């Protein structure tokens, strides 16, 4: 391998491992944190999907659950779909409680109350928000010929993630905390024969930021 | 060796060797298959038979026996989207079996007893329906449907909107209530492997929504509310 080839390989490697830049902000407002371990009680994280123009992504909810359980396995996070199926039709986009007062009304139904007791659900976290692509620029052209194929050009785009988590306490039937996070990042894709995506992990950063705050709320180890 | 009787035999005799003819024939065949594949892929029909699992509702069962009749057009419901340009494909989305599955699960969770009927209630068939001892008969149907499929949206968000019409008859075929409810479903993720899977998921979400809307609002329909009150009074009277 010549020195030139080695340098080229190093540059390529650096570009592959390089991520786009992400800036994240987290705001927290907590009223009543649990003072003891949750024990066998479960927490459920649900995405808000009642708006007509956006829906909280199911993979973001899964990311948060994974973030919390991988950091502290004593916190039992119930999968969103399992909870929604068990309480169907009360947590569907059109029927889900929007305010703690709606929760009070819902818990007056004996079947719902018994099911929640059976599932040992103590806290519910509503996640509202999404990640969107805000702008993009650049151009890229790809071609194929008898000698091979390749692309040439440069593309860039930015993503914005805004999420708010609202924590409800099932026992006291009230809101006990609110955390929000926003992240923005710029991704690039230069292409000289081979396109090299340098992706800014905007949603992942928002997930980590919000996940850490929720972990602080639910886990006594953090 | 004698060359086989192909359209290219004459050329092979005069200008090429037998090996070259074989290569040429092979190339023509491969090209033919490729062209045919391209042609079929651009003009084919994408068929989606909606499949999903629907949860049983968490409700206190209403103390009535409900007969339910699914019309053939409801059981075999499907919608067809014809391609408008050469590059697009036709779409057939078959929702019938899935919606019957969803309603069966839903109604069994909502009512004390559910009886599936094979024919529409009619006043001259009172006796037949009466034998099954039902308190009322529900007849659901798809009244209207709107959708956006991948070729329309160009993005990974597929949507289905439906309006269901429900008719409730007494056991002797008299109409008790007639109302409509809407349902909406959108693919919740943009990372599905195929457009067919995304359309399927949008349809399943719409059916879940239809079920939730029906389950939560059934007792709020004024005519249904009145019928339930009358049924309860009738039972309470010795």
> What gap in Å lies between CA A221 and CA A124, rounded to an integer?
20
Q: Is residue B160's pLDDT more than 80?
A: yes
Q: What is the CATH number of the domain that holds A201?
A: 3.30.160
* Crossing angle between the packed helical segments A202-218 and A58-71, to the nearest 10 degrees: 50
Question: A170-174, B92-96, B129-133, B208-212 — which is least confidently predicted?
Answer: B129-133
Count of domains forming chain A: 1
Q: Which structural domain range is residue B22 located in?
A: 9-39
Alpha-carbon Rg of chain A, whole angstroms?
22
Mutant choice from A49, A79, A88 vs B, greatest count of B C-beta within 10 A = A88
Assess if residue B71 is contained within a domain: yes
Statement to judge: residues B177 and B121 lie in one domain? yes
Average pLDDT on B28-36 reads 62
Is the predicted pLDDT of residue B32 greater than 90, yes or no? no
Q: Domain for residue A6, yes or no? A: no
pLDDT score for B50: 95
Residue of higher predicted confidence among B33 and A127: A127
Claim to verify: residue B116 and residue B13 sit in the same structural domain: no
Q: A59-92: b or e for each residue (b if 16 or more CB lie within 10 Å)? A: ebbbbbbebbbeeeeebbbbebeebbbbbbbbbb
Q: Do B189 and A59 touch (CB under 8 A)?
A: yes
- Is the model's pLDDT at A19 over the cut of 70? no
Q: Chain A interface, mutation test: which of B212, B213, B218, most A Cβ atoms within 10 Å?
A: B212
Q: Which domain holds residue A214?
A: 19-218
pLDDT score, position A56: 92
Quick one: pLDDT at residue A171? 81
Residue B157: half-sphere exposure toward Cβ, Cα within 13 Å: 8
d(C-alpha B13, C-alpha B202), whole Å: 61
Report the first-to-last Cα separation within chain A, whole angstroms: 50
DSSP character string of A152-193: EEEEEEEEEEEEEEEEEETTTTEEEEEEEEEEEEEEEEEEEE
Flag whether B74 is in a domain: yes
- Specify whether B215 is located in the same domain as B124: yes
pLDDT digits (tens, 9 = 90+) for A152-164: 999 999 999 999 9
In a domain, B232, yes or no: yes
Asked whether the bond before A68 is cis by omega within 30 degrees of 0, the reply is no
Residues B147 and B75 grouped into a single domain? yes
User: Does residue A11 lie within any of the structural domains?
Assistant: no
Does any domain span residue A7?
A: no
User: Is B16 a residue whose pLDDT tops 90?
Assistant: no
- Structural domains of chain B, count: 2
Residue A27, helix vs strand vs coil: strand
Count how many pairs of residues, chain A against chain B, have C-beta atoms within 8 Å: 46
pLDDT interval class at B43 (50, 70, 90): low
Query: Is B3 contained in some domain?
Result: no
Residue B227 shares a structural domain with residue B114: yes
Q: Are residues B52 and B158 located together in one domain of the fold?
A: yes
* pLDDT reported for residue A25: 83
In the predicted structure, residue B119 carries a pLDDT above the cut 90: no
Backbone angles phi, psi at A194, to 5 degrees: -110, 130
**Whether B212 and A95 lie within 8 Å, measured CB to CB:** yes
For residues B76 and B194, the model is more confident at: B76
| A18-22, B182-186, B227-231: the lowest-pLDDT one | A18-22
Sheet of strand B78-81, all strands in order from the earlier edge strand to the far edge: B45-49, B90-94, B78-81
pLDDT at A196: 92
Q: Mark yes or no for CB contact A55/B186 under 8 Å.
A: yes
pLDDT at B21 over 60: no
Q: In this predicted structure, what is the pLDDT of residue B82?
A: 83
pLDDT given for residue A112 in this prediction: 92
Answer yes or no: is pLDDT of B113 > 50.
yes
Q: Which residues of A fall within a CB distance of 8 Å from B191?
A: 59
Query: Which residues in A lie closer than 8 A to residue B55 (C-beta atoms)?
Result: 84-86, 88
| Residue B49: C-alpha distances to residues A97, A131, A148, B195 (Å) | 33, 31, 40, 13
Is B127 domain-assigned?
yes
State mean pLDDT over B157-175: 90
Q: How far apart are CA A92 and CA B94, in angstroms?
A: 24
Mean pLDDT, residues B204-224 taken together: 96
Q: What's the angle, vertex CA B166, arms to CA B161 and CA B169, rounded to 5?
A: 175
Q: What number is the average pLDDT over the span B211-220?
A: 96
pLDDT at B147: 87
Q: How many CB atoms lie within 10 A of CB B38?
A: 10
* A86 within domain boundaries: yes
Beta-carbon contacts of B159 under 8 Å, excluding residues fewer than 6 positions away, are: B147, B148, B153, B184, B185, B186, B187, B202
Higher pLDDT, B10 or B108: B108
Residues 6+ apart with CB under 8 A from B28: B8
Lowest mean pLDDT among A47-56, A62-71, A110-119: A47-56
Residue B196 pLDDT: 85
Tell me, yes or no, if A169 comes closer than 8 A to chain B by beta carbon: no
Dihedral Cα B6, B10, B11, B17, nearest 10 deg:
80
pLDDT band at B13 (very low <50, low <70, confident <90, very high): very low
Domain assignment present for B4: no
pLDDT score at B15: 41
A115 interfacial to chain B (CB closer than 8 Å):
yes
Residues B216 and B176 both lie in one domain: yes
Both tokens assigned to A131? 């990640």
Closest residue in B to A91 (Cα–Cα): B212
For residues B199-220, average pLDDT: 95
Of A4 and B62, more confident: B62
Q: Determine the Cα–Cα distance for residues B119 and A96; give it in Å rounded to an integer.
A: 37
Question: Does the pLDDT at position A88 exceed 80?
Answer: yes
| Each residue's pLDDT tens digit, A153-199 | 999 999 999 999 999 988 888 888 899 999 999 999 999 999 999 99
In this prediction, residue A3 has a pLDDT band, given cuts at 50, 70 and 90, of low
pLDDT per position as a tens digit, A89-138: 999 999 999 988 888 889 899 999 999 999 999 999 999 999 998 889 99
Residues of B in contact with A93 (CB under 8 A): 209
- What's the average model confidence in pLDDT over A146-154? 91
- A101 vs B157: which has the higher pLDDT: A101
Q: Measure the CA–CA gap between B223 and B218, rounded to whole angstroms.
A: 10
Write down the pLDDT at residue B101.
Answer: 97
- Do B84 and B180 lie in one domain? The reply is yes
A89 interfacial to chain B (CB closer than 8 Å): yes
Chain B contact for A90 (CB, 8 A cutoff): yes
Q: Is a pLDDT exceeding 70 seen at residue B19?
A: no
**B67 shares a domain with B14:** no
B113-132 mean pLDDT? 71
Encoded tokens for A101: 């007062």
pLDDT of A41 strictly over 70: yes
Asked if A97 and A75 touch (Cβ cutoff 8 Å), the reply is no
Residues composing chain B: 238
- Give dist(CA A72, CA A75) in Å, integer: 6
Q: Do A181 and A206 contact (CB within 8 A), yes or no?
A: yes
Which CATH number covers residue B230? 3.40.50
Q: Does residue B29 share a domain with residue B87?
A: no
**Residues B100, B151 within the same domain:** yes
User: What integer pLDDT is reported at residue B36 of this predicted model?
Assistant: 57
ipTM of the prediction: 0.80
Same domain, B84 and B18: no
Contacts with B218 (C-beta within 8 Å, 6 or more apart), sequence order: B110, B224
What is the distance in angstroms between the Cα of A5 and the nearest Cα belonging to chain B?
A: 37
- Distance (Å, whole) CA A210 – CA A162: 10
């Amino acid at each position: 391998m010549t020195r030139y080839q080695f340098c080229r390989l190093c540059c390529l490697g650096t570009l592959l491992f390089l991520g786009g830049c992400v800036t994240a902000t987290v705001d927290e407002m907590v009223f009543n944190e649990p003072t003891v371990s949750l024990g066998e009680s479960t927490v459920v994280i649900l995405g808000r999907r009642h708006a007509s123009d956006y829906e909280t992504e199911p993979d973001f909810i899964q990311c948060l659950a994974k973030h919390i359980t991988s950091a502290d396995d004593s916190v039992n996070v119930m999968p969103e779909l399992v909870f929604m199926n068990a309480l169907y039709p009360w947590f569907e986009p059109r029927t889900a409680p929007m305010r703690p007062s709606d929760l009070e009304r819902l818990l007056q139904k004996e079947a719902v109350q018994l099911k929640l007791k059976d599932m040992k659900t103590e806290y519910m976290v509503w996640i509202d928000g999404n990640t969107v692509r805000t702008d993009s620029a650049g151009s890229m052209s790809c071609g194929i010929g008898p000698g091979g194929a390749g692309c040439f050009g440069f593309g860039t785009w930015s993503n914005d993630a805004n999420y708010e988590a609202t924590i409800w306490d099932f026992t006291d039937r009230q809101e006990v905390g609110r955390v929000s996070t926003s992240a923005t990042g710029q991704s690039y894709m230069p292409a000289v024969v081979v396109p090299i995506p340098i992706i800014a992990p905007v949603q992942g950063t928002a997930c980590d930021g919000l996940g850490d705050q929720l972990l602080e709320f639910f886990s006594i180890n953090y | 060796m004698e060359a086989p009787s192909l359209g290219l035999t004459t050329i092979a005799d005069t200008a090429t060797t037998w090996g070259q003819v074989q290569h040429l024939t092979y190339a023509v065949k491969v090209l033919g298959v490729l062209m045919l594949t391209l042609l079929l892929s651009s003009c084919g029909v994408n068929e989606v038979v909606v499949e999903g699992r629907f949860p049983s509702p968490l409700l206190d069962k209403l103390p009535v026996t409900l007969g339910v009749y699914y019309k053939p057009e409801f059981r075999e419901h499907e919608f067809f989207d014809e391609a408008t340009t050469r590059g697009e494909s036709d779409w057939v989305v078959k929702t019938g079996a899935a919606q019957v599955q969803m309603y069966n699960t839903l109604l069994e969770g909502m009512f004390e007893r559910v009886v599936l009927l094979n024919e529409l209630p009619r006043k001259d068939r009172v006796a037949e329906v009466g034998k099954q001892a039902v308190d009322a008969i529900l007849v659901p149907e798809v009244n209207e449907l709107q959708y956006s499929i991948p070729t329309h949206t160009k993005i990974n968000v597929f949507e289905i909107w439906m309006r269901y019409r429900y008719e409730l008859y007494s056991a002797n075929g008299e109409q008790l209530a007639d109302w409509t409810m809407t349902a909406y479903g959108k693919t919740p993720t943009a990372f599905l492997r195929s457009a067919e899977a995304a359309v399927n998921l949008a349809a399943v979400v719409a059916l879940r929504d239809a079920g939730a809307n029906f389950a939560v609002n059934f007792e709020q329909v004024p005519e249904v509310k009145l019928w339930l009150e009358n049924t309860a009074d009738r039972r309470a009277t010795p």
